[in-house]
Chain A
Amino acid sequence: MPKITFIEDDGTEHAVEAGADESVMQAAMDNLVPGIVAECGGYANCATCHVYVDPEWADKLPAPEEAEEVMIEAAFDVRPTSRLSCQVQVTEDTDGLIVQLPASQTGA
């Protein structure tokens, strides 16, 4: 099963095993990783599943589709490596993926 490491803003690491055919957001939910809210449940409507993909990985993931690209603007503290984790699919190719969690999903 593909592994994903989530790193909280304070440096706390969560290494989890993701199910094939789920999103990175869902992998965080299944494993109670804090820092992702996912208000809309995975439909690119809320931008509260924002993560920063490790620079090593940024180019290896499929590029965002339009729905993600426009909604990412709604996230808090957007950077070049920002992604909406509900739109990033777990596959065998993503084994070892590292993502950083923002300090806040909403800025509040």
Chain B
Amino acid sequence: MPENVVVVGAGQAGSELATTLRQRGWSGGITLIGDEVSPPYQRPPLSKGFLLGKLSREKLYLKPAATYERFNIALRLGTWAETIDRAAKELVVSDGSRLPYDKLVLATGGRARRLTLPGVDVDQLDNLFTLRRIDDVDALRPHFVPGRKLVLIGGGYVGLEIAAVATQLDLDVTVVEAAPRLLARVTGPEVSGFLEDVHRSHGVRFRLAATVADVAVDASGHRVTGVEVSASGVVERLDAGLVLVGIGMEPNTHLASAAGLEVDNGIVVDEFARTSDPDILAIGDCANQPSAYAGRRIRLESAPNAIEHAKVCAATILGRPQASTATPWFWSEQYDLKLQMVGLSAGHDRCITRGGTGTAMSAFYLTGDRIVAADVISRPADFATARQLVTSGRPVDPERLADSEIPLAQAAL
């Protein structure tokens, strides 16, 4: 059995892997390296309860730092992994040390995608932010002042969560989205429309099918004062005291590609989390993996996937490889709505909804007579059943599915 496992990236996936290995009896060395200074923490609350100020920093930590010490996991924070020397099987880190590995796991996650505009250096702008890390929240939180005009670029889940928090803190919010509707890549028009209405009722304004053409800055050159958006050829200037860019993330694949590993929308791994080098594995947001559920390769960005993929990787390292059969799922919180999404709706041929009141609804995405995905808003009992129906692939009766009076489970044939 190999002796030393070195993990790059002390995020949700890396932490889960290190602790799962110990839990399952791995007695060799485990080193967890991360460039952030906080012990591994949950990112989901960064755009929800933590941004709202309802949660303390310690509540975000997946485990207290003492746990790693107690279970003999060497946690090296504030340390950047520079290069992989595959021939010597060593990882070179920022303080110059070389860490020998028998198995190396890349759990490098991703970074916020940056806004690129000709002639604009976003690093010079003091009131323009992205949100991926705890220090991003620390930096932008002082700008969350009641009455301030916030222009949010990007109407995805994270963007909408920030919009909800910002309006609750009395900021004046405008969301600019390039697609003609919200969440266009991941959800159906019914859910997009529902959420747009909810946000509008809280005072959020939208510019849909609109792209950012330029930003206006003050005389110092460091403060954005406005965002120029272009929609159907018409350019409009939105006043801005604060700009947040929420246009997704890019997987951190540089370490892998520089080492000659295969990279294609993420680090390419097999169903056991192994890269093209069998001694190097990759998990979580940074990995492109075959999915039994989807029947193709996918790269997922979710906490449940980070946990599941870490468990697959641990099993491989322990010599008991087992592929995942999990159905992807994700959640979000906006105002007092609880959103739970299961499966991937891409490629569905029809959508059936139930509920559809102002405060709750469920949307089921079907291919033929099977539910392939569901978006459930504040109907958690539907989520429970939908998750089972998506996972089992049981056929359903569309008419019964559409009738809210009939319990969802009875829609199955």
A contact set with B: CB distance below 8 Å: 19, 29-32, 34, 37, 39-41, 43, 45-47, 67, 70-71, 73-74, 106, 108
**In the bound complex, do residue A108 and residue B44 qualify as a contact, i.e. CB atoms below 8 Å apart?**
no
* Complex Cα spacing A35 to B99, Å: 32
* Complex Cα spacing A73 to B338, Å: 16
5 A-B contacts (beta carbon < 8 Å) = A34-B23, A43-B44, A45-B331, A70-B380, A73-B381
B contact set with A: CB distance below 8 Å: 19, 22-24, 42, 44-45, 62-64, 67, 71, 303-304, 307, 325-326, 329, 331, 333, 338, 340, 380-381, 383-384, 387
**In the bound complex, do residue B384 and residue A47 qualify as a contact, i.e. CB atoms below 8 Å apart?**
yes
Min distance, Cβ A94 to any Cβ of chain B, angstroms: 19
Closest residue of chain A to B386 (Cβ to Cβ) is A74
A32 touches which of B23, B383, B384, B387 (Cβ 8 Å): B23
Top 7 closest pairs, chain A to chain B, by CB: A74-B384, A39-B304, A70-B380, A41-B42, A45-B331, A32-B23, A73-B384
Min distance, Cβ A104 to any Cβ of chain B, angstroms: 12
* Complex Cα spacing A47 to B385, Å: 12
**In the bound complex, do residue A30 and residue B63 qualify as a contact, i.e. CB atoms below 8 Å apart?**
yes
Given contacts A32-B22, A74-B387, A108-B326, 11 further A-B contacts (CB under 8 A): A30-B63, A30-B64, A43-B331, A45-B331, A46-B304, A46-B329, A46-B331, A73-B381, A73-B384, A74-B381, A74-B384
Residues of B within 8 A of A34 (CB): 23-24
* Complex Cα spacing A45 to B304, Å: 11
Closest residue of chain A to B45 (Cβ to Cβ) is A41
B303 touches which of A29, A31, A41, A74 (Cβ 8 Å): A41
